[in-house]
Chain A
Amino acid sequence: MRINISRKKIRDSFVDKVQELSGQNLLACYQCGKCSAGCPAVSEMDILPNQIIRFAQLGLKDELLASKAIWICASCMTCNARCPKGINIAEVIEALRQILLRKREDHLKVKKLSDKEKEDIPPIALISSMRKYTS
């Protein structure tokens, strides 16, 4: 992946937005990688949790918002529990999802679910999926 870093991106309001929505200080991260080491979902991720934080520090908005990883994270909170700097990584990833969802860019296509799926899958799964993946 070729990535361009610029002062303009670092100072973009996107960085402030992520910090504001997540309530986290992105610069607290010193890239120890413990979040990614313990994440049960990394095998499905294109950008790993520690990289998500680094990308967010650098204001790499396009890369982050187009990533698969932000939709793979299921907010299991293992990264939050283990971060030595007390950063809630799951909250940062939620902020990234929310930036898209608040523009009505839904990830889950509810209409594509068949009646059988809706019947077989328990409400707890359908509701949580809609809460996390739709606006």
Chain B
Amino acid sequence: MKICYYPGCTLKNHAKNFEDSTICSLKAIGVEVDELDRWNCCGTVFSLTTDDLIHHVAPIRNLIRAKEANYDKVMTLCAMCYNTLKRANERVKSDPDSLEVLNNFMDREKIKYQGDVQVYHLLEFLKNEITFENLAEKIIKPLKKLKVASYYGCLLVRPKEIGLDDLENPTILEDLMAVCGADSVDFPFKTECCGAYQTVDRPEIVAERTFQILSSAQSQGAEVVVVSCPLCAFNLDQRQKKAVELFPEFKNIPVLYFTQPLAIALGCPEETLRFDLNFIDPKPLLKEKGFI
């Protein structure tokens, strides 16, 4: 099976560990990833003002690229790309006038976009198309006794119309971690914002959020936190440095992309996990547990 893949800006640099562990995991279950040709940045955020059509050009152009490659679906890993592409798609589907304006603006494109590409997330692909039952059969190294807190953040679940699970209490990541043999811990901050792009000019706010979110997970016994967004990952992982400065009682905890434990469970070699890109080194914990 071959699926169309849209990486987005950060998957090729800071979040290369997310991409590599995904590609290896999918290969282990017989799925080949076909990266879009000439993809462009989705813009990272969906424009919320009614008249701001120009910022929908970037996401819609990517969907045109998917059509050109003869796909009717495009898979994303990054929660922000997922949200932006899917919301822009829903916007033009429900508003033919704005679609017309966008198509006219992009009149050099050979394809006139008609809202007919589906945007989906890797989690949805694994759950609905591979199914967790089939995935369970491919697990060769169950992550026994690893206590995982699943952090969704905002954009996988909100707004409701495009979210991939229940917006207040999603469980898809916990279900996937259970398939990998890990134990999930429940904590009340799993859909609370990490502060997002405030990390650029107000890192202290993000460090405070990081402290709150991770301390809550730790109080429930979590040994690692898994995420699906490169911005959440940066905030929860790298901003721990600042969190320790502000809150001396805080203890570091590794933050992984959910595809890293998945790749371990599917038997992928350690070099595809790219732990060098994780700020808080998860290797001592994973070695102690006998997973690597």
Q: Which A residues are closer than 8 A to B by beta carbons?
A: 20-23, 40-41, 44, 72, 74-78, 80-81, 88, 90-91, 94-95, 98, 108-109, 113, 117, 120-129, 131-133
Contact = CB atoms under 8 A, between A and B. Distances in A.
**Main secondary structure on B side of the interface with A:** loop
11 contacts: A21-B50, A21-B51, A41-B195, A81-B160, A94-B48, A122-B230, A124-B15, A124-B80, A124-B234, A125-B196, A133-B201
A77 B201 CA distance: 21
Chain B interface size band reads 35 or more
Interface stretch (B38-46, B127-135, B175-183): B38-46
Given A77-B159, A126-B200, 10 more contacts: A77-B158, A94-B48, A113-B200, A123-B13, A124-B230, A124-B231, A127-B9, A128-B231, A129-B200, A131-B45
A100 to B, nearest CB: 12
B260 to A, nearest CB: 17
Interface of B: 8-10, 13-15, 41, 43-45, 48-52, 55, 78, 80, 154, 158-160, 167-168, 191-193, 195-201, 205, 209, 230-231, 234, 238
A131 B15 contact: no
B43 A131 contact: yes
B24 to A, nearest CB: 21
B198 A74 contact: yes
Contact of B9 (A95, A113, A123, A133): A123
A77 B205 contact: no
B49 A94 contact: yes
Given A74-B193, A121-B234, A124-B78, A129 B50 contact: no
Given A121-B234, A131-B45, A76 B50 contact: no
A125 B197 CA distance: 5
Nearest to A95: B49
B99 to A, nearest CB: 17
| Interface hub of B9, B48, B231 (most chain A Cβ within 10 A) | B48
